[in-house]
Structure 1
Amino acid sequence: MGEKTSRIALFAAVAIALTGCGQRANSPPADLAAATPTASSSVSLSTPPTTSPTASLSTSPTAPPSPSPSAPAGAPPDATALEAAYERVITRVLPSIVQITTDNGLGSGIVYDRAGHIVTNAHVVGNANRFQVTLATGGAPRTAKLVESFGLGDLAVIKVDKPEGLTPAVFGDSRKLRVGQIVLAMGNPLGLSGSVTNGIISALGRTVSESDDEGSPGATITGAIQTSAAINPGNSGGALVNLAGEVIGIPTLAALNPELGGGPAPGIGFAIPSNVVTDIAAQIIQDGKVTNTHRAALGVTVQTVIGVDGRPVGVGVVRVSKGSGAEKAGIKSGDVLISINNVRISDTQSLSEVLATLNPGDQATVQILRPDGSTSTITIVLGELPSS
């Protein structure tokens, strides 16, 4: 809404940046040193090396049998079972992961159905309408076109012209996720097609906001999944997968640490929950657009108000939509929003984050600073934020 004044924000000490706008097609690959390994480790797609058995001087007939050729010698049974689980998941899901290439860069996507629909991030498709899609398992690139992009939720659906042979992914129920679950992130980080990293679900229900520059839609994502699985540029739009082989999220953001000069904050990435993905994708495929954003709105156009010290002090109302909850409650152009439900509002970013936690039809208590210096507290019935 209004001017692009919101910027990267997450809590007090961590900034959020897009990780999967991908590399610029006309620029050199990102410095690999910037993609330092995090607490999560990469899962190799090659066959794990086995330890050559050492010749034993003992001829005791009670010596234990040699380990299975499919597992490293001396590997604990639990580790062997976990390794086998990783291999099964990768074999099952990787054929559903694609690389999406535009004139400006690349990202990842997930095959949604046999009709050729592919779901990805809105910031991956950017302003493009035509794409080249390559399967992680190889083969010639396929052309695809944009169906619809939903910038508010940073989701988009494209459709390949020739869907023959595509393998749709299985989407899981993100309501059943638990902190501590092992997950794999699949995509094309730094242009390395079909890469897989592993980690855990670190937290659930995060509210994170994107930057609104460099082609990003500046979305605020609610209920985000925080994961320690490494997410790097090119991963965006790919799959966050559980050990049942179900897609439970779309990796979208990674954290940057201002204390490291904006460098990556190890082991902190965010994914859009699968239930949100399937809801928005289904609307786009059926209706050609998002008909229900599930996002609350005041019905105003706003901009951040800066105080004499150069710091944001509130959100100024530029325009009030006719018939909106704001108009009915008496909000007028020139008013400054100070708080909603006793949560301080300092800028448009904080306003978006508070509204993202509410639903259309909810009542919200809003404190307002009037142009004459007086303050008032009013109750507003929230409307629905339109998709564009």
Structure 2
Amino acid sequence: MPVAEPVVNPDDGSHGGDDGGTIGGTPPSPDQRGRRRVAGVAAVALIAAAAGVGGAAAYDAINGDDNSPVVSSLNTGNDSKSAPTGDVEKVAQKLLPSVVQINVRGSQEAGSGTGIIISSDGQILTNNHVVEAAADGGSITVSFNDATNAKAEILGRDPVTDLAVIKADGKSGLTPAALGSSNNLEVGQEVVAIGSPYGLDSTVTSGIISALNRPVASSGGAGDNDQTVFPAVQTDAAINPGNSGGPLVDMEGNVIGINSAIRAGTTTSGDAGSIGLGFAIPIDLAKNVSKHLVKGEKVQHARIGVTVAPAVSSDDITGVGAEIKEVNKGSAGDKAGLKTGDIITAVNDSPVVSSNALVASIRGYQPGEKITITYTRDGQKKTAEVTLDSDGGDLGS
């Protein structure tokens, strides 16, 4: 479900505004200015936490026991030992064996990011922008917590949600991370982030969830013209370039988000760094996408089929919703009776204050789900039940 918000180059340290979006349309090309030193530094309306600078470790493929049973995080009912609530050390001890550094080299760039082991035979969840540089003939090496290394290949990518799954060669007996849920999170809840900022693997930071359902717009990867907007889990836990693809974890050791973007400050050396505004893709969204990627299936994304722009109050500053500029004939929005000029203000009673907020909200649902949209028409408040369409899927190739 692409959008038409501008994308700001991560090297200039600035951030863009909300200039409208297309739900089910074709987005314009984002600004691709500036140098690109590392694989996976996504251009973000805030700024990507992207794959940071870090040398690739030497390849040392370890052959495992092919007869070992495969355990996957994506299967329900996994027996996972919880860490004591409030104990960052115990959470780190539990998760570190399930977190890897991903070293990527493409034809014109190289760098590193983070990944989460989701199966005992080497399936790893990460961001699309971490591995995209290797999608066309590049190479990927995974560095594990036990200091071993293995080559990896991409199983599937989805630029629309900025997610990807890779598979490490010749591995078995790995420890999959426990994937929690993002539908019951609370602002102020303690969390831990783990990753490889600037190539410094196994780095642990802690903080709180500072906001939920924050609409964040970013590109899906290096040189990628597609944009993604997701309903982010916002945290003040330190996240820096290289943390992308790594876990945001609750205090029971369950992954509740995939660290993907930051609003960054700039150091004296010119590098972008954390200022306490990090953003993670909710794990419920990541699980839904990953279940398709591991099978090589198309990932279908929900859409309404309307083009929207920011709606502001009479002060020309305060956002009050998403104004419909066009309704595609025969779309979910058309069937629900939405019209040009309607201002959408809520989805399932969750406020919508901008076009980005609407796109992010719809991103959290699946095609075929029914939602209730609240909108105003000629100053009158109305509601409509919408059965979401599908964009047909995108393999990310």
Q: TM-score, normalised by structure 2?
A: 0.62
Distance change >3 Å, CA 4–CA 340, structure 1 → 2: closer
Q: Which one-letter code corresponds to 2:6 in the other structure? A: S
Distance change >3 Å, CA 2–CA 22, structure 1 → 2: same
Q: How does 1:19-98 map to 2 (within 5 A)?
A: 19-23=49-53, 85-98=87-100
CA contact (8 A) 1:326 1:380 kept: no
Q: Which one-letter code corresponds to 1:352 in the other structure? A: V
Distance change >3 Å, CA 327–CA 184, structure 1 → 2: closer
Distance change >3 Å, CA 286–CA 229, structure 1 → 2: same
Match of 2:157 among 149, 152, 170: 149
| Structure 2 residue 122 is matched with structure 1 residue 108 | no
Which protein shows a greater Rg? 1
- Consecutive unaligned residues of structure 2, counting only runs of 5 or more, are 8-14, 20-43, 57-83, 312-316
| Structure 2 residue 378 is matched with structure 1 residue 381 | no
* Residue deviations 1:103-147 (CA, integer Å, cap 9, x gap): 23221000001132100112212253352111133123x121111
Match of 1:17 among 41, 47, 53: 47
Match of 1:118 among 121, 124, 130: 124
Distance change >3 Å, CA 265–CA 240, structure 1 → 2: closer
Q: How does 1:175-194 map to 2 (within 5 A)?
A: 175-194=183-202
Shift of 1:9: 5.9
Shift of 1:230: 0.2
Distance change >3 Å, CA 128–CA 285, structure 1 → 2: same
Match of 2:298 among 274, 285, 289: 289
CA contact (8 A) 2:130 2:221 kept: no
Distance change >3 Å, CA 209–CA 135, structure 1 → 2: same
- Consecutive unaligned residues of structure 1, counting only runs of 5 or more, are 27-80, 306-310, 370-376
Shift of 1:304: 9.4
Q: Which one-letter code corresponds to 1:22 in the other structure? A: G
Distance change >3 Å, CA 363–CA 107, structure 1 → 2: same
Q: Which one-letter code corresponds to 2:214 in the other structure? A: T
Distance change >3 Å, CA 206–CA 106, structure 1 → 2: same
Aligned equivalent of 1:267: 276
Percent identical residues: 33
Aligned equivalent of 2:251: 243
Match of 1:210 among 217, 222, 225: 217
CA distance in 1, matches of 2:239, 2:205: 8
CA distance in 2, matches of 1:170, 1:356: 23
Give the SS at the match of 1:185. strand
Q: How does 1:310-349 map to 2 (within 5 A)?
A: 316-317=325-326, 320=328, 323-328=330-335, 339-341=343-345, 349=356
Aligned residues: 308
Larger helix proportion of the pair: 1
Q: Which one-letter code corresponds to 2:246 in the other structure? A: G
CA distance in 1, matches of 2:179, 2:125: 12
Give the SS at the match of 1:16. coil
Shift of 1:351: 5.0
Distance change >3 Å, CA 88–CA 350, structure 1 → 2: closer
Give the SS at the match of 2:180. coil
Q: Which one-letter code corresponds to 1:225 in the other structure? A: V
CA distance in 1, matches of 2:374, 2:187: 33
* Residue deviations 1:279-298 (CA, integer Å, cap 9, x gap): 3222332463335x4x3x22
CA contact (8 A) 1:99 1:109 kept: yes
| Structure 2 residue 13 is matched with structure 1 residue 6 | no
Distance change >3 Å, CA 163–CA 24, structure 1 → 2: closer
Shift of 1:263: 6.4
* Residue deviations 1:4-36 (CA, integer Å, cap 9, x gap): 543456899x9621112434989xxxxxxxxxx
Give the SS at the match of 1:19. coil
